[in-house]
Chains A and B, each alone.
Chain A
Amino acid sequence: MMDDKHVMTMLVDNEPGVLSRVAGLFSGKGFNIESLNTGPTVNPEVSRITVVTKANPPVLEQIEKQLRKLVNVIKLRSLNGPNAVRRELVLICVQARADQRAEVLRIVDIFRGKIVDAGLEHFIIEVTGDEDKIQALLNLLKPIGIKKLARTGPIGLIREPN
């Protein structure tokens, strides 16, 4: 069975140790974590955790059931598929000497990125998007020279019904 990528999001009690319970579940049971992301919600008592995992269908079923079993996990939803919006923020420090600057700026423009820091030999680029877009950008910047990279991993929301 193929290990496919799955993005899932959960609302959890905003308490100490909850992130550790979620992360510990993955490590303790040998599940895979590609990225994990946590932040506040409008309700101060509730946080949101978004996890990307790679798993085949039976393992994915176990991951979802095990997460739901945690006393602090209030709600768990899959963010796979078209009814969810997924975005990731990336900061890329790219090499940019005089002869490279124009090309970098052109690429950044195509991907609707922003330059958030500039030096004599580098730019730091800020870009958001879905995974495909970010991968495409990285593919273009790689030959120029990526010095440093920071990715948030995807976050997402289910679309509201119209």
Chain B
Amino acid sequence: MEMTGAQILMKILKDEGVETLFGFPGGAVIDIYDELARTDIRHILVRHEQGAVHAADGYARASGKVGVCLVTSGPGATNTVTGIASAFADSVPVVVITGQVPTHLIGNDAFQEVDIVGITRPCTKHNYLVKSTAELARTLKEAFYLARSGRPGPVLVDIPKNVASLKANYEAIGEVRLRAYNPTYHPNRKQVRQVVRLIGESERPMIFGGGGVILAGGAAELTRLARRAQIPVTTSLMGLGAFPGTDPLSLGMIGMHGTYRSNMSTANCDLMLAVGVRFDDRVTGKTDSFASQAKIVHIDIDPTSIRKNIPVSVPVVGDCRVSLQLMNDMLDDTDMGDLSTKRRPWLDQIDEWKKTQPLAYRQCANIKPQYVVEKIYELTRGDAIITTEVGQNQMWAAQYYLFDHPNRFITSGGLGTMGFGLPAAIGAQIACPEKTVVDIAGDGSIQMNIQEMATAVQYGLPVKIAILNNGYLGMVRQWQELFYGKRYSATRMDSGPDFVKLAEAYGAVGLRATRPEEVLPVLQEGLSIRRPVIMDFVVEAEESVYPMVPSGAPLTEMLLV
């Protein structure tokens, strides 16, 4: 059947089950937008293309589906780069469709022309420039397949204007197969059997779960493993929710701002089962002393993650869910003996660490940011979708909001992109209209994509933004306080804006709390309004995040409250 490129694109989007596009129109995609208006695909008009990618990212993480965005050529395309790099760092399945100048103008320095395929080559899982309408359908199918399979990631498809407007014969494309791309889902059974044997022999085992567990839908299997074999669980920032945060076996987060008991367990365990992690430097601290008493098992679908940063005893290449399931099935056939007696000294030791050094902060006359997060947790009964910006707000959210379920904590973990939280909250709210979605923000980060307030208002998305407003770029200020002699170079932000007025200017609701006793009423009111709300919490200005492992130090060298 003869169809235009734009029609083919819509056809493939429908085939792939895409219900929502996040985008921003322009000259190079005007044919596509014209066709889009004839479909029932919902388009969310963002206010900046970076917001489109973060929103697609938040949508993907909250829904488990591929997030899709559509932007124009040139500046439209370059504005997506930070969003793409963020999704790449966190392995989020996103398809980014960019317009391009017509094929005969490519290379001419045409108006709004940029080599976006060249620019995004190192920060996409794969990308394409579509040279003719005839190859568009297959390319798009490949893009969706690559984005969601194996280790997921962003895929960019650059479509020149004439490729979208010209016609070609369209034939339905069956299953996509790429000869050089075959992710290993099923692990080597012998390796898994060896892991099961190590679990049996271990006195002080721990599980370290990461974002890969959540991406693979493996949280239930991980929980089954931990409870069956009585193994305490820590997670990375990206892994929060892979194991219930309220479970007695939960150690909380690992790493630079991890809990005392998690980092101490890491230093003292004799077996670490690392699942779907990549041993980021913020997790390991000094690598030589990381889990130095332990045999490390590393399960990951991406072979490049294994032995990249940390030497491992048993590498297992496979899908996290499939591998954990196989391990659980093998464990069910294994006599583990009296585990509760065997694990008692280890679990007692961990309890002791928890008792002596719990996560803590001191109340004062001003609002403590940790207190705000605690109250958000209580009022939402731990059931909200939480997005964050980046910095102190992100760490306090990770520490004081306990996640019992996967896909509830949406944060820019790998790239650390300030300005991520608000657009990601918009995407998450669209994926889950019935859920409470809260962006835990800082006054610095929120200003990086504050324009998306207009998007939330336009589409009536009741996202809640809780700004922990300390008038500083708090995390950098904290480093300057601790390691740079309190020289607060370029970290003070004392010029506002007035976030309540700003919310009102956007047509949203603005609330403010300046004293501890105002926190609860503001949250109660803000969370109950079915409209976008900014809650401005004026918090203790020089509060720091603890524990803290200085960059490059061993995990045991924690600065405590």
Residues of A within 8 A of B (CB): 13, 16-17, 20-21, 24-25, 28, 58, 61-62, 65-66, 68-75
The listed residue (B121, B129, B181, B308) touching A21 by CB distance below 8 A is: B121
Pull 14 A–B residue pairs with CB atoms less than 8 Å apart, ordered by A.
A17-B129, A20-B118, A20-B121, A24-B121, A24-B122, A58-B307, A62-B304, A65-B303, A71-B146, A71-B181, A72-B180, A73-B180, A74-B179, A75-B180
Chain A residue with Cβ nearest B122: A28
Shortest beta-carbon contacts, A-B, top 9: A74-B180, A65-B304, A71-B126, A28-B122, A65-B303, A71-B181, A66-B304, A69-B304, A24-B121
Knowing A20-B118, A20-B121, A28-B122, the reply to whether A71 touches B180 (Cβ < 8 A) is yes
Knowing A20-B121, A28-B122, the reply to whether A71 touches B178 (Cβ < 8 A) is yes
Knowing A71-B126, A71-B178, A74-B180, the reply to whether A17 touches B121 (Cβ < 8 A) is yes
CB distance from B309 to the nearest CB of A (A): 10
Contacts of B502 in A (CB 8 A): none
**Bound CA span A71–B180, Å:** 6
CB distance from A47 to the nearest CB of B (A): 13
| B117, CB-defined interface residue at 8 Å | yes
| B302, CB-defined interface residue at 8 Å | yes
Chain B residue with Cβ nearest A11: B180
**Bound CA span A65–B302, Å:** 9
CB distance from B79 to the nearest CB of A (A): 22
Contacts of B304 in A (CB 8 A): 62, 65-66, 69
Contacting A at CB under 8 A, from B110-132, are 117-118, 121-122, 125-126, 129
Contacts of B180 in A (CB 8 A): 13, 70-75
Contacts of A65 in B (CB 8 A): 303-304
The listed residue (A13, A17, A21, A68) touching B303 by CB distance below 8 A is: A68
**Bound CA span A21–B125, Å:** 11
**Bound CA span A66–B506, Å:** 46
Given A17-B129, A71-B180, 17 more A-B residue pairs with CB atoms under 8 Å apart are A17-B117, A17-B118, A20-B118, A21-B121, A25-B122, A28-B122, A58-B307, A61-B307, A62-B304, A62-B307, A65-B303, A65-B304, A69-B303, A69-B304, A70-B180, A72-B180, A74-B179
CB distance from B158 to the nearest CB of A (A): 11
Contacts of B178 in A (CB 8 A): 71
Contacts of A17 in B (CB 8 A): 117-118, 121, 129
**Bound CA span A11–B181, Å:** 13
CB distance from A112 to the nearest CB of B (A): 39
Contacts of B146 in A (CB 8 A): 71
CB distance from B144 to the nearest CB of A (A): 14
Binary A-proximity of B301-341 (CB < 8 A = 1, otherwise 0): 01110011000000000000000000000000000000000
Chain A residue with Cβ nearest B317: A65
Chain B residue with Cβ nearest A27: B122
CB distance from A49 to the nearest CB of B (A): 13
Chain B residue with Cβ nearest A74: B180
**Bound CA span A65–B308, Å:** 10
**Bound CA span A58–B310, Å:** 10
Contacts of B129 in A (CB 8 A): 16-17
**Bound CA span A62–B179, Å:** 22
